A and B are shown apart, each in its own frame.
Chain A
């Protein structure tokens, strides 16, 4: 069982030999073990706080900072950070803090939603391939390799360009683009997860507890959902975390290239796009959203690394 959580349970010994009435016990202590390993990763813990602060700011921000993000004030154009505009203003005199809060909501939501899509597809493909083996497995893995060889960003840009209009018409400006971005990013990022889950399944399948479950007459579905998937979860959580960071970068890239959300929706990437013409007169306009993207991506990556130490202790990278 390479890298999955229960492997370390067995590896660590004593917990396994508990009396049956304490079955609920090891679960909790498993988690505690993982938390202990996570805590050792100082940067991951610090990142947890930074990310928590960012999420909190984005969620409660509008309640505390009531300046409307769309209010145009031409007398306060391109202002640097001052008391009444802590993050300064943009080319139309709009308050950047309010826009940052709104953009952060979108960026983080896109990251989490796109991760969910990628994990969903990846786990489904990987689980089916790992369970089925034979021809189905070969076909699914061929498909995975094919997707891995696709030029990602060009294809993303192409998809955004082609389907933007239709989805905006169908689901509205923000909703349509949100849906499109999430599906497109998720649909192009599931491959490594599929491979991971398949590899986990292939090794777990041969374990005694699976054989025991099969001998007890467990159906294939039960085998997969109840026995295989939970044991393969550790690495999936790690990969999923890092996928959130990737999705945030991809979304801001799309916005930066002008193919993300419509111009009136201030995402972090789009703010950078707007700001690049004013780099000499108003550098804060570009630096603040850029730093926000960097901080959230960095902290998510570190958390992912900490989770890897906690849940997937045998992998080196």
Chain B
């Protein structure tokens, strides 16, 4: 306890602290950052690391126990035909869902960013966000009813004499099935419906940041609307599209509920993880499966960066 003048004054300790922080601003920054850093470091990165570690262990087939020794045999197992099928199936679904989301979301986002003002803008946000407020399970089960054989979609198609369209779609190989709710078409529709807000919002944010005078400048320099779209608007919206696609792609890669409720019985990555870590107790293989989406997203982002998608940010 040193008897400095600072501490003699009323509120001396706090004032001393405030003097200290004023003199060493970095200390204050560190103090403020420490709790969130610890949170991210331990709970987030730490658990991810633990997961990664698990994937390098293996399951003893005989005893059903995890062998805590470093091995690549789990990854070898991951590359077996059936598992590769699961991965490819999931990736294809994720890619198609992402592309569909991008195509549907872009015009909506463009309208919202460029034309919607005042109450139309409020309405837009409400329309995009409201589905996010209701339970995800309720929405998926609602879709199951919509797509079921006795569902509203079939009923409408019959009323419009378009039953042959649904029949034709269901007769197609791979994507078809007994009914829409038991086919890849159904799974795809529900995925697109559930994830589309995650595409619309970042694209809208990116478009919002494109000033009108870029478009005017482009027109001024002789570009018609189509040229302006591909040379100015699209490149500047690309970071938003990439951000949106990260959501739609990774959410599809990891989801295990939608394909379980709407779709055929073939597994997706999420379902595989769910089954493996649950009843099978094969934590190492489940961990290896979860590493797959992380690697895919890593490669995807690296490629996007190489293509210059983030240059404008």
Q: Do A and B come from one complex?
A: no
